[in-house]
Amino acid sequence: MIGQLRITLVRGLSGQKEYHRKVVRGLGLTRTNRSVMRQDTPEIRGMVEKVNFLVRMEKIGETP
C-alpha cells in the first residue's frame, strides 16, 4: 500500500514564475492554505521539491 501526502499551499502565487504556477496547479492546489491529498509517488515528490518554498508537505500513512 502506498502512503498519502497532504500538500498545503502556504504562500500565494502572485509574483511567481509561470513554471511554478503550473506545477502548483498540477498538484491540484488553487488557494492559499488549502490542502490536497496525493499518493506518495516519485512524480508527486518531484513536483513538491520544485515548489518547496511555496508548499508544506506532511506524510500520512506508511508504506509497508
The tens digit of pLDDT for each residue in 2-44 reads: 799 999 999 999 999 999 999 999 999 999 999 999 999 999 9
pTM equals 0.88
Angle between helices 42-50 and 18-27 (to 10 degrees): 140
40's CB contacts (< 8 A; 6+ apart) are: 2, 3, 4, 5, 59, 61, 63
Options 3.30.750.200, 3.30.1390.20, 1.50.10.10, 3.40.50.1100; which CATH number does 4-60 get? 3.30.1390.20
